[in-house]
Amino acid sequence: GLHLPGNIDLAGNSFGSFPDGLAAISGPDAIPQSGLGQIVLFVGLLELFVMKDVTGEAEFAGDFRNGALDFGWDTFSEDTKLRKRAIELNNGRAAMMGILGLMVHEKINQLTYYNDPIQVDLPIIGVL
94 pLDDT exceeds 90? yes
pTM above 0.75, yes or no: no
pLDDT, one tens digit per residue, over 18-74 is 888 778 888 888 888 888 899 999 999 998 988 888 888 888 887 877 777 778 888
Cα(96)–Cα(94) distance, integer angstroms: 5
